[in-house]
């Protein structure tokens, strides 16, 4: 034993003497939070010598002797000094990220970039926003989160799409929706190829329904041209980059999470309609009292049937989420499954989705990576059947009866839903205009319960990629397919409103859309002393093919199988089939250059060749330049103790828009049948000059951070001018078509955005943060060519006019009601007649002594003057609280439903506001004397109402019980309320209607949900 020890001592001495001459020091540098290796960290030691860590975060140096002091640094991390005294263990240095907004790495088009080097306007929305929301689609959670991003729901229908506008709308006839990119791969949703041609279905499925919000790690909103120009032809409306959750490298233990939520929804607002006795009294006073009610009988009618309540319900929604994330030495993986089942608050409506998502990445060889992203799912939406937009007098749609829900609101409250024996009541003596044949009238409760209006979408979003790093170069190839099969089912039986005239009508339609995409990029990254260069070049190709087919039949003898037995229909409509193909070839290039970590420049160029334009105009070229200056790094601000960062940004460039129908440049014909033979009708006339719509965009911005992350401010000013506007221009009779898509005119958007977020309290057990954003946008058509004053809409309610905003409302100015004793000779005539007491008064704006269509004026527009959001998070020990408000100010909305429900007559119910209509004894100015007819078909200012609102979008309370460490799971339970209240003067259900016309949109819901999240 003694000998052994002596030997050991001698060996140790020998080793020590050797170490005088050469000592190898090895170690690894990792991120303290994620455990991921830090590549390229600098390790400096004696006499200014240094090395950088390799791909695995490893370094090795030879020193003469120990101890040796190592200074370890990496951009965005706190530098650390480690003195090495012995080599008993491997050196493992954990660097902690500086919690500075500018040190965030943000996802940009075709790559990532440190925010400190960014020149563009990019806003990041983190996953907690989606975790706190019970919205089934991500747009529902984005509202109010980003300055300048305005989300307006199309309706309250579960799974319905929203309108998203980034810095206002640029275009009239081309799409204004932003481009979505999921995990670096364009999620292309062609707005022009969305339906199957079957019609008669009220709602369309939200394209974002294919993405489960809980799969999202972060969203980057690219707002200005420096950020969006790399997407060239599709960057004009802004770009939304979605990054899904991935396994974290170094996190060997798989993280398994399960979440369940259960919620109840009910309508957030009821319209105040007349009850049975009020309606019967109204009929007796002003109309013919068809029911023949006496005063006693009227009193006995009481409230009667509340048809609004009869078609609304308390709806149940539930969702299951399962996710598994993790990594191994050479791979990382994420898998999730989601099932959502959301009943709508209107009978027989709802949304179901199951969704599987996987994201796997392997390091096949040292420099070779390979990955697969795939989402497969199926969503199903049940909505309303619709009466379809037909602008002629006898159409129910033109009379404001757009669907069975609206029809329910119009049902006289003296009519019961059910007969005494419990069967549906199909007798309604007041209905004689649209939905009655003989003594058989339709019943909206039956309509909603028995009609079918389904959108079923099966989708696969997939791509595979491989990257190879060769020195400072990285080659990447990505190939992917987005494949969607949309099926639309429609059936209205013989007893329903839509099937009444045809003894039942049904149909089914399919659309198969396949979008193949290829991307090949070469990137180069190099740091040369004070210079940093990051360059990218590549080629991308997108090929889209969309086919559709639909068939409709009517006159059924057996309705049991509904749309699954269309052969039973005696009459067959002309089958609709079609194909649409398009290609987009693009060359992309970008160079980012940073000098002294202070001065940044980004130059981007994209050339797109689109098959959607005529041969001579297919290429579009989109350059941009961005500059930014990290002012805080200058010597003169070195002593500014409370300044974390200050950056100024300036960008400018061109982007384009090609979101128009395929073949719009060529002459085309539509098929039909006429007299038993096939027929063709000219659908479009060729335009050889059709070319890109181009938006020139400029942005001046500043990012400011103060007090060690306590306060962050982002301010942006922008100006955008869209030229060669793609506009449907009315055509002369000789052309054979009513309109043609042409490049006409300009639209300008200019605005200011401010976003502030602050940490109010940051203590160990008490953290409170708040953020607010505010945006103002001014939208104006600055040129309309020769086609000024294009009137649009079923009620001719909107106009495109130079000097006005897109979506401007156009109508008469309502001035009140002619009162008893008023000098009517001074009033302008209406339809050649002098108004009398009780008639509505309108402004004679052109002072020609008469009121007519020429007196119509701009009554506001759908463009809000201000959009804003506010959110706050409070964490107190195990409890967390989250509150989110969103608001809009200055926009107008045409309340077509309100106009319909204040139109008095002897068939339909009306709003209780008509009780305050003018009578000889009630000198009201709100509504004229009840009458079955209107003086004008034009809309007037009463129904172009303020759409300003402030909504409490979300209020969540969560609790994470403190469990023993040995417990194998963590738990969070929460309760959340959505749309708890809305402050608005709008008189309809909800001021958020994306089309700008509320013709009976599905009402929005207030939801209370409870949930649990378990993580293993």
Partner 1 sequence: MKVRTFLIAMLVAVTLTANGVTSQNDGVITVKVNKASRALVEKWIEGYKAVNPNVEIAVVSGRNADADLTLVSSHQEGGHVTYVGRYALLPVTSTGNPLLNDIQKKEWKSRDIKNLFFTAEDLDDEYGEEEAGGKEQGTKGKLKDKLTVYSGSGKASLSGTFASHFGRTTDDLRGNRIAGDDYYLLSAISEDKASVTFNALSNLYDLSSRTLRSDLVLLPLDVKKTQSEALQSGNLDETLNLIESEDIDLIPVEEIGFAYATTDADIDQFLQWVVGDGQQYNHEAGFLRL
The site for partner 1 (CB under 8 A) is made up of 1, 4-5, 8, 27, 32-33, 66-67, 80-94, 96, 707-710, 759, 761-764
Query: Measured from the CB atom, is 2 or 420 closer to partner 1?
Result: 2
Neighbours of 474 (CB within 10 A): 18
We find the least distance from the C-beta atom of residue 93 to partner 1, in angstroms, to be: 6
We find the least distance from the C-beta atom of residue 763 to partner 1, in angstroms, to be: 5
* Tokens 């969309």, residue located: 546
Can you give the three-state secondary structure of 556-612, one letter per residue? CCCCCCHHHHHHHCCEECCCEEEEEEEEEEEEEEEEEEEECCCEEEEEEEEEEEECC
Query: Measured from the CB atom, is 16 or 789 closer to partner 1?
Result: 16
Residue 220: Cβ-neighbour burial (10 angstroms; 0-12, 13-18, 19+): buried
What residues contact residue 16 under an 8 Å CB cut-off, 6+ apart? none
Query: Measured from the CB atom, is 786 or 965 closer to partner 1?
Result: 965
Query: Measured from the CB atom, is 5 or 786 closer to partner 1?
Result: 5
Query: Measured from the CB atom, is 35 or 935 closer to partner 1?
Result: 35
Residue 204 near residue 193 (C-beta atoms within 8 A)? no
We find the least distance from the C-beta atom of residue 100 to partner 1, in angstroms, to be: 14
How far is Cα 943 from Cα 905, in angstroms, rounded to an integer? 18
> What is the bridge-based pairing of β-strands 91-95 and 23-31?
parallel
How far is Cα 265 from Cα 812, in angstroms, rounded to an integer? 39
Query: Measured from the CB atom, is 68 or 772 closer to partner 1?
Result: 68
We find the least distance from the C-beta atom of residue 88 to partner 1, in angstroms, to be: 5
Task: Determine the distance from the C-alpha atom of residue 357 to the mean position of all C-alpha atoms in its chain, rounded to a whole number.
Answer: 20
Residue 285: Cβ-neighbour burial (10 angstroms; 0-12, 13-18, 19+): exposed
Task: Determine the distance from the C-alpha atom of residue 158 to the mean position of all C-alpha atoms in its chain, rounded to a whole number.
Answer: 14
We find the least distance from the C-beta atom of residue 70 to partner 1, in angstroms, to be: 8
We find the least distance from the C-beta atom of residue 333 to partner 1, in angstroms, to be: 25
3-state secondary structure of 222: strand
Query: Measured from the CB atom, is 5 or 615 closer to partner 1?
Result: 5
We find the least distance from the C-beta atom of residue 329 to partner 1, in angstroms, to be: 19
Query: Measured from the CB atom, is 42 or 708 closer to partner 1?
Result: 708
Query: Measured from the CB atom, is 433 or 761 closer to partner 1?
Result: 761
Neighbours of 537 (CB within 10 A): 16
Neighbours of 437 (CB within 10 A): 12
Tell me the C-alpha to C-alpha distance, in Å, between residue 145 and each of 162, 396, 761, 869: 15, 40, 21, 6
Of 569, 578, 573, 580, the C-alpha closest to 549 is: 578
We find the least distance from the C-beta atom of residue 961 to partner 1, in angstroms, to be: 19
Query: Measured from the CB atom, is 768 or 1010 closer to partner 1?
Result: 768
Phi, psi of 865 (to 5 degrees): -80, -35
Helix or strand holding residue 901 (H, E): helix 896-901
We find the least distance from the C-beta atom of residue 536 to partner 1, in angstroms, to be: 34
Query: Measured from the CB atom, is 762 or 934 closer to partner 1?
Result: 762
Query: Measured from the CB atom, is 615 or 965 closer to partner 1?
Result: 965
Residue 724: Cβ-neighbour burial (10 angstroms; 0-12, 13-18, 19+): buried
DSSP 18-84: HHTT-EEEEEEEEETTT--B-TT-EEEEGGGEEEE--TTSEEEEEESSS-EEEEEE-TTB--EEEEE
How far is Cα 319 from Cα 314, in angstroms, rounded to an integer? 17
Greatest CA separation for the chain:
130
Residue 417 near residue 441 (C-beta atoms within 8 A)? no
We find the least distance from the C-beta atom of residue 80 to partner 1, in angstroms, to be: 6
Residue 269 near residue 1003 (C-beta atoms within 8 A)? yes
Query: Measured from the CB atom, is 250 or 575 closer to partner 1?
Result: 250
Query: Measured from the CB atom, is 82 or 650 closer to partner 1?
Result: 82
> What is the bridge-based pairing of β-strands 814-817 and 840-842?
antiparallel
We find the least distance from the C-beta atom of residue 44 to partner 1, in angstroms, to be: 14
Query: Measured from the CB atom, is 69 or 934 closer to partner 1?
Result: 69
What residues contact residue 933 under an 8 Å CB cut-off, 6+ apart? none
Neighbours of 969 (CB within 10 A): 11
We find the least distance from the C-beta atom of residue 78 to partner 1, in angstroms, to be: 8
Q: Which residues pair with 150 in a beta bridge?
A: 165
Q: Which residues pair with 469 in a beta bridge?
A: 474
Task: Determine the distance from the C-alpha atom of residue 644 to the mean position of all C-alpha atoms in its chain, rounded to a whole number.
Answer: 33
Phi, psi of 142 (to 5 degrees): -80, -20
How far is Cα 957 from Cα 975, in angstroms, rounded to an integer? 5
We find the least distance from the C-beta atom of residue 66 to partner 1, in angstroms, to be: 8
How far is Cα 190 from Cα 193, in angstroms, rounded to an integer? 5
Phi, psi of 68 (to 5 degrees): -135, 140
We find the least distance from the C-beta atom of residue 872 to partner 1, in angstroms, to be: 17
Query: Measured from the CB atom, is 50 or 935 closer to partner 1?
Result: 50
We find the least distance from the C-beta atom of residue 82 to partner 1, in angstroms, to be: 4
We find the least distance from the C-beta atom of residue 85 to partner 1, in angstroms, to be: 3
We find the least distance from the C-beta atom of residue 40 to partner 1, in angstroms, to be: 20
We find the least distance from the C-beta atom of residue 103 to partner 1, in angstroms, to be: 16
Query: Measured from the CB atom, is 84 or 607 closer to partner 1?
Result: 84
Helix, strand, coil % (nearest 5) of the chain? 15, 50, 40
How far is Cα 907 from Cα 433, in angstroms, rounded to an integer? 8
Query: Measured from the CB atom, is 861 or 875 closer to partner 1?
Result: 875
Task: Determine the distance from the C-alpha atom of residue 579 to the mean position of all C-alpha atoms in its chain, rounded to a whole number.
Answer: 27
Of 140, 141, 220, 125, the C-alpha closest to 181 is: 220
Of 541, 563, 542, the C-alpha closest to 553 is: 563
């Amino acid at each position: 034993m003694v000998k052994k020890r002596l030997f050991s001592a001698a060996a140790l001495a020998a080793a020590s003497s050797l170490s005088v001459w050469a000592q190898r020091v090895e170690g690894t540098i990792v991120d303290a939070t994620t455990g991921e290796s830090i590549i390229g960290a600098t390790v400096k030691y004696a006499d200014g010598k240094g090395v950088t860590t390799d791909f695995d975060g490893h370094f090795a140096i030879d020193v003469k002797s120990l101890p040796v002091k190592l200074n370890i640094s990496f951009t965005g991390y706190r530098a650390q000094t480690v003195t090495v005294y012995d080599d008993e263990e491997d050196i493992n240095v954990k660097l902690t990220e500086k919690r500075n907004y500018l040190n965030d790495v943000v996802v940009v088009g075709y790559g990532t970039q440190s925010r400190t080097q960014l020149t563009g306007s990019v806003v990041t929305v983190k996953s907690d926003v989606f975790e706190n929301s019970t919205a089934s689609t991500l747009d529902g959670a984005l509202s109010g989160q980003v300055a300048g991003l305005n989300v307006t729901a199309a309706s309250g229908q579960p799974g319905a799409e929203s309108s998203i506008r980034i810095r206002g709308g640029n275009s009239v006839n081309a799409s204004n929706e932003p481009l979505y990119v999921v995990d670096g791969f364009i999620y292309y949703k062609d707005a022009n190829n969305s339906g199957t041609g079957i019609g008669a279905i009220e709602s369309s499925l939200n394209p974002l329904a294919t993405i489960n919000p809980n799969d999202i790690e972060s969203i980057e909103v690219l707002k200005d041209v420096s950020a969006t120009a790399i997407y060239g032809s599709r960057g004009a409306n802004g770009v939304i980059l979605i990054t899904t959750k991935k396994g974290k490298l170094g996190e060997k233990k798989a993280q398994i999470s399960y979440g369940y939520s259960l919620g109840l929804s009910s309508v957030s607002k009821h319209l105040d309609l007349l009850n049975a006795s009020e309606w019967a009294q109204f009929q007796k006073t002003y109309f013919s009292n068809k029911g023949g009610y006496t005063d006693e009988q009227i009193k006995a009618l009481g409230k009667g049937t509340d048809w609004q309540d009869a078609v609304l319900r308390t709806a149940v929604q539930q969702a299951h989420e399962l996710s598994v994330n993790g990594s191994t030495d050479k791979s990382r993986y994420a898998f999730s499954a989601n099932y959502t089942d959301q009943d709508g608050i209107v009978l027989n409506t709802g949304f179901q989705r199951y969704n599987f998502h996987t994201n796997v990445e392997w390091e096949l060889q040292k420099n070779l990576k390979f990955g697969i992203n795939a989402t497969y799912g199926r969503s199903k939406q049940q909505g309303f059947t619709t009466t379809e937009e037909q602008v002629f007098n006898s159409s129910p749609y033109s009379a404001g009866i757009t669907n069975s829900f609206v029809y329910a609101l119009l049902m006289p409250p003296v009519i019961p839903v059910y007969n005494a024996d419990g069967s549906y009541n199909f007798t309604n003596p007041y209905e004689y205009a649209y939905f009655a044949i003989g003594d058989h009238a339709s019943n909206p409760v039956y309509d909603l319960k028995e009609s079918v209006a389904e959108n079923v979408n099966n989708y696969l979003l997939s791509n595979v990629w491989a990257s190879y790093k060769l020195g400072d170069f990285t080659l990447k190839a990505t190939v992917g397919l987005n494949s969607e099969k949309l099926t639309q089912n429609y059936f209205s039986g013989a007893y329903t409103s839509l099937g009444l005239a045809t003894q039942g009508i049904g149909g089914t339609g399919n659309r198969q859309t396949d979008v193949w995409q290829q991307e090949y990029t070469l990137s180069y990254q190099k740091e040369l002393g004070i210079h940093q260069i990051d360059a990218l070049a590549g080629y991308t190709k997108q090929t889209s093919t969309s086919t559709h087919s639909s068939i409709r039949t009517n006159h059924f003898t057996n309705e049991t199988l509904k749309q699954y037995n269309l052969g039973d229909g005696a009459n067959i409509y002309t089958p609709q089939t079609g194909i649409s193909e398009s290609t987009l070839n693009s060359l992309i290039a970008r160079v980012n250059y940073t000098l002294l970590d202070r001065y940044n420049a980004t130059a981007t160029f994209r050339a797109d060749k689109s098959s959607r334009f005529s041969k001579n105009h297919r290429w579009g070229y989109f350059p941009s330049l961005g500059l930014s200056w990290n002012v805080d790094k200058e010597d003169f601000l070195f002593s500014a103790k409370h300044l974390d960062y200050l950056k100024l940004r300036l960008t400018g460039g061109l982007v384009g828009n090609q979101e128009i129908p395929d073949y719009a440049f060529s002459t085309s014909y539509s098929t039909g049948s006429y007299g038993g033979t096939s027929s063709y009708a000219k659908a479009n006339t060729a335009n050889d000059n059709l070319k890109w719509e181009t938006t020139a965009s400029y942005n001046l911005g500043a990012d400011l951070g103060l007090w060690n992350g306590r306060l962050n401010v982002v301010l942006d000013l922008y100006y955008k001018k869209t030229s060669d506007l793609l506009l449907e221009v009315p055509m002369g009779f000789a052309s054979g078509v009513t309109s043609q898509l042409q490049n006409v005119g300009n639209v300008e958007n200019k605005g200011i955005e401010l976003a502030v977020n602050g940490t109010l309290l940051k203590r160990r057990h008490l953290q409170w943060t708040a953020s607010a954003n505010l945006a103002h946008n001014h939208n104006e058509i600055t040129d309309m060519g020769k086609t000024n004053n294009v009137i649009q809409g079923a009620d001719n309610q909107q106009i495109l006019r130079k000097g006005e905003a897109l979506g401007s409302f156009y109508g008469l100015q309502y001035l009140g009601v002619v009162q008893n004793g008023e000098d009517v000779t001074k009033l302008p005539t209406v339809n050649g007649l002098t108004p009398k007491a009780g008639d509505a008064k309108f402004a004679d704006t052109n002072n020609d002594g008469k009121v007519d269509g020429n007196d119509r004026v701009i009554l506001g527009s759908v463009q809000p003057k201000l959009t804003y959001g506010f959110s706050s998070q409070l964490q107190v020990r195990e409890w967390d609280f989250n509150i989110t408000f969103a608001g809009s100010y200055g926009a107008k909305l045409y309340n077509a439903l309100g106009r319909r429900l204040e139109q008095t007559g002897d068939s339909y119910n009306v709003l209780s506001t008509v009780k305050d209509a003018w009578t000889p004894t009630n000198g009201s100015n709100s509504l004229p004397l009840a009458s079955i007819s209107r003086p004008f078909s034009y809309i007037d200012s009463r129904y172009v109402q303020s759409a300003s609102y402030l909504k409490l979008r979300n209020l969540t309370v969560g609790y994470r019980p403190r469990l023993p460490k040995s417990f194998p799971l963590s738990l969070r339970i929460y309760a959340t309320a959505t749309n708890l209240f809305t402050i608005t003067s709008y008189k309809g259900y909800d001021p958020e209607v994306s089309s700008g016309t509320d013709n009976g949109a599905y009402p929005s819901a207030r939801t209370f949900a409870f949930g649990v999240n378990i993580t293993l």
